[in-house]
């Protein structure tokens, strides 16, 4: 199922420089590509591989055309064009509809005829599985959960009761959606669990990575808007709201009742504390902790870069002395001011 470069240019929405009839049937990195492969250059780090690539064509930006030894597809956003080409050359597999003999579907569940339910799945009473949904092996969909049309649970995904997924969601193995949030009241030292009755509600086109947890709301719902992309090992706590097209990278966490706006990016390992609000277009850097609300779009960072251990040892003990040092510097400034010739009337 190869494509001509002409066809590929249309898919990529890029301008072709080269032989419109040349065939490609796969994507490869600049280093690994050979005849029949299309490659791309979207990250400066890999520019050095361009000159020697043996790809049949390369997707790249106008500035790189002159360095390209082979045919090219030129566009201002080579990574997006690459994404389009990937989706065309590597369409996702479509298993045959139907319910595997070992899947357990409760009589009170509704499963659309075009849905595919694989081996060892469980679908509980009141659950609804819409048209074209794919449940891979070992998925658990508890009572009253709803899976919108075209959504795909790859394998071993758990949707807890009342969870609601929009259309075309993609949920990776080990992800748990709609589990209880951490709601506890303290009774003279001992914790009393608070039943969590809100839902986890995901919009359309949401992706959730492997082993990520999105907790259900305490009373109102946890809400993940359309187009939100969540990586692996992420925790979204109860009552959180995440706005449209926000991306949350691996190991990031959003604590309870916080709201993240639309078009934000939360980088890997970053954390948002509870009960704060981030406006749209906020970008939190890797391993940074947001400890208060952010009302101004922009990039926010608190990363402490690792350094040679000896350097760290010497300097980080000083963190406890910052306040003292600021006060000492101020005192020095005052004393020095008092020593200035004109201050002494000389």
Active site residues: 238
Token pair, residue 255, equals 């604590």
Quick check: 163 and 146 in contact, CB under 8 A?
A: yes
Q: Is 108 in the site for a copy of itself (CB under 8 A)?
A: no
Taking CB under 8 A as the criterion, which residues in 154-213 touch a copy of itself? 154-156, 158, 160, 170, 172-176, 179-180, 182-187, 189-195, 197, 207, 209-213
Contact with a copy of itself (CB under 8 A) among 2, 65, 76, 318: 318
| Distance between CA atoms of residues 132 and 144, nearest Å | 19
65 vs 307, beta carbon nearer a copy of itself = 307
Q: Is 138 in the site for a copy of itself (CB under 8 A)?
A: yes
Measured between alpha carbons, how far is residue 147 from residues 129, 141, 158, 193 in Å? 5, 9, 12, 28
Token match 């993940």: residue? 224
Stretch that binds a copy of itself, among 17-25, 47-55, 61-69, 72-80 (CB under 8 A): 72-80
Please tell me what DSSP assigns to residue 342: G
Q: Is 308 in the site for a copy of itself (CB under 8 A)?
A: yes
Contact with a copy of itself (CB under 8 A) among 231, 242, 260, 261: 231
For residue 304, how far is the Cα from the chain centroid?
A: 22
Quick check: 79 and 97 in contact, CB under 8 A?
A: no
Give the strand pairing for 190-193 and 184-187: antiparallel
19 vs 269, beta carbon nearer a copy of itself = 269
Nearest distance, CB of residue 202 and a copy of itself, angstroms = 15
Q: Is 23 in the site for a copy of itself (CB under 8 A)?
A: no
Q: Is 114 in the site for a copy of itself (CB under 8 A)?
A: no
Contact with a copy of itself (CB under 8 A) among 61, 86, 112, 128: 86
Token match 């956003």: residue? 77
Q: Is 47 in the site for a copy of itself (CB under 8 A)?
A: no
- What angle is formed at CA 291 by the lines to CA 160 and CA 330, rounded to 5 degrees? 170
């Amino acid at each position: 199922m190869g494509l001509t470069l002409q066809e590929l240019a249309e898919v990529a929405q890029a301008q072709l420089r080269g032989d419109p009839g040349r065939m490609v049937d796969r994507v490869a990195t600049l280093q690994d590509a050979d005849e029949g492969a299309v490659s791309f250059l979207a990250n400066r780090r890999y520019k050095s591989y361009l000159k020697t690539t043996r790809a049949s064509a390369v997707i790249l930006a106008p500035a790189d055309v002159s360095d390209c030894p082979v045919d090219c597809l030129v566009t201002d956003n080579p990574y997006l064009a690459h994404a389009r080409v990937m989706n065309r050359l590597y369409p996702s597999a479509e298993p045959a509809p139907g319910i595997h003999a070992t899947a357990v579907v409760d009589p009170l569940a509704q499963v659309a005829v075009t849905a595919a339910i694989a081996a060892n799945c469980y679908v509980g009473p009141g659950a609804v599985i819409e048209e074209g949904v794919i449940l891979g092996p070992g998925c658990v969909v508890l009572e009253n959960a709803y899976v919108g049309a075209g959504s795909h649970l790859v394998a071993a995904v758990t949707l807890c009761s009342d969870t609601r997924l929009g259309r075309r969601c993609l949920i990776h193995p080990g992800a748990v959606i709609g589990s209880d949030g951490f709601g506890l009241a303290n009774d003279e030292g001992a914790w009393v669990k608070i039943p969590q009755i809100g839902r986890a509600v995901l919009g359309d086109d949401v992706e959730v990575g492997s082993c990520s947890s999105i907790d259900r709301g305490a009373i109102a719902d946890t809400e993940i808007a359309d187009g939100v992309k969540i990586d692996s090992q992420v925790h979204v706590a109860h009552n959180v709201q995440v706005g449209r097209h926000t991306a949350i990278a691996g190991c990031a966490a959003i604590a309870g009742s916080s709201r993240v706006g639309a078009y934000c990016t939360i980088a890997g390992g970053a954390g948002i504390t509870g009960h704060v609000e981030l406006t749209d277009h906020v970008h939190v850097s890797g391993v940074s902790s947001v400890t208060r609300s952010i009302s101004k779009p922009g990039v926010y960072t608190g990363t402490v870069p690792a350094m040679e251990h000896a350097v760290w040892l010497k300097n980080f003990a000083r963190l406890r002395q910052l306040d003292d040092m600021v006060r000492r510097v101020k005192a020095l400034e005052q004393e020095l001011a008092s020593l200035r010739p004109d201050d002494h009337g000389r």
